[in-house]
Amino acid sequence: MSRAPAGEAGSLVGSEPVQARIVYVIDDDREIRVSVGVLLGANGYEARPFASASDFLDELAHLRPGCLIVDIRMPDIDGIALLAEAATRGVSWPAIVVTGHAEVPTAVAAMKLGALDFLEKPFSYTALMAAVEHAFDLLEREPDHRAIAAAAEKVAALSKRERQIFRGILAGLANKEMALRLELSHRTVEMHRLKMMRRLGVRKATDLFALAAAAGVSAGDFPGD
């Protein structure tokens, strides 16, 4: 049941699922955070609670794609403002909005910001879980543009040599061969390779392939530019 989320570079090339589907629960009501968290856990999801919209927004840049469950009425930054702010940051993960007061104008405002569903408290757990299931259907079917852009940026930031080595690895060439063809010493190639891997934030060659897939980079010609 737990398939890897589509945001991680590794999962886009069909590697083993390593992370549970994560649901961010943003509600100033502790009882809701706890009860929804328990419900999610029982259904195989990882629940990450936040007591306020600002707590969530502060961490957003470091969070992996997931489903949001957001309360409308929160002091300070409310649910609608949260969705709007997330959108301006390029985050469009599926959001399920919950409220104690279901009013059409509020629901419409949430829908216009792309919310997946709008549930009135006390909501049925079945309805909530159905929406969460649907959310991951969407997440896992659609490419995560933010992750793709991030991967592409990393590759673009490589030096010319590093990019050549990158392509060489994608083409399946060993260090020795790359050294021969680039007319460099074996040691120099190794050094560039290490730097390149560090810059891209990967530890194994297999991660490189995953990153390349995420960035939409194919082996192309070696050495290329």
Partner 1 sequence: MSVYFLLYVSRSLLRLPHEGGEVDRIVAVARRENARLGVTGALVFTRAHFAQVLEGDEDAVEALMKRIRNDRRHDSVTVVCKSLRDARLFPQWSMAYSGGSLYVDRHIKPLLEVPPEPGSTEPLAEKLVRLMREFTAQEIATAP
Binding residues for partner 1 (CB under 8 A)? 104-105, 107-109, 111-112, 114-119, 130-131, 134, 138
Tokens 């010319």 appear where?
Answer: 160
Q: Give 133 or 177: the residue with its C-beta nearer to partner 1.
A: 133
Nearer to partner 1, 78 or 162 (CB): 78
Given the complex with partner 1, which of 108 and 149 has the nearer CB atom? 108
Q: Which structure tokens are listed for 168? A: 């060489």
Q: Report the residue number, 119 or 152, with the smaller CB distance to partner 1.
A: 119
Q: Residue 51 Cβ, how far from partner 1 at the closest point, in Å?
A: 25
Please, what is the minimum distance in Å from the beta carbon of residue 162 to partner 1?
A: 36
Q: What's the token pair of residue 12?
A: 């886009």
Closest distance of CB 16 from partner 1, Å: 28
H/E run at residue 83: helix 79-88
CA–CA distances in Å: residue 38 to residues 56, 74, 149, 197, 216 = 19, 21, 34, 39, 38
CB of 63 to partner 1, least distance (A): 22
Name which of 111, 104, 47 is nearest 79 in CA terms: 111
For partner 1, give the closer residue by CB, 56 or 118: 118
d(CA 14, CA 177): 29
Sequence-distant (6+) residues with CB within 8 A of 161 are: 182, 192
- CA dihedral over 124, 125, 129, 132, signed as positive or negative: positive
Write down the least CB distance from residue 114 to partner 1, Å: 7
CB of 217 vs partner 1, minimal distance in Å: 24
- Judge whether 118 and 107 are in contact, CB under 8 Å: yes
Shorter beta-carbon distance to partner 1: residue 115 or 214: 115
Residues 43, 3: Cα–Cα separation, whole Å: 13
